[in-house]
Amino acid sequence: MDENGIIVRNKARLIAQGFNQEEKIDYEETFTPIARLEAIRMLLVFACFKDFSLCQMDVKSAFLNGFINEEVYVEQPPGFQSFNFPNHVFKLKKAFYGLKQAPRAWYERLSKFLLKKGFKMGKINTTLFIKTKKKKNGLSSNIC
């Protein structure tokens, strides 16, 4: 809605009911890669000291970009049922909001991409990726 309360654009997000999934049947484990606050503080101090450039990103549709290995089926959501096939279910090809395996699927895809681009994963904090370039007058690092 705009500032006057008039609908400008309709948005919808399909979310799987992840609470219906059962561990060891529908997924192996839950996974949430989170950077610790202490690690972020040390990173900022070190980057300032060494004059490194830092980049950070927030991907709003991250979970929609991860590929899943398991076979996952979801019911047709209300309002989107097929009139021709009302009893059919959807088979997912990609991760989905609400799936227990969505965070791992996104992290695996992102980390593979960054590793291909020459970044190295942190040994202690695996959410930290570092890429070092050699300059004529010394080293330069990009940290993501």
Written as one string, the DSSP assignment of 77-117 is: PTT---SS-TT-EEEPSB--TT-TTHHHHHHHHHHHHHHHT
Identify the helix (H) or strand (E) that includes residue 39. helix 37-50
Q: Domain spans of the chain?
A: 34-67+97-143
Q: Mind listing the pLDDT tens digit of every residue in the chain (144 residues)?
A: 788 888 777 666 666 665 566 666 666 667 777 777 888 888 889 889 888 888 777 777 777 778 888 788 888 877 778 889 888 888 888 887 777 788 888 888 889 999 999 999 888 788 888 887 776 666 555 665
| Sole residue written with tokens 């990103």 | 57
Indicate yes or no: pTM above 0.75: no
Residue 137: CA count within 13 A, CB half-sphere: 0
Whole-angstrom Cα distance, residue 118 to residue 112? 10
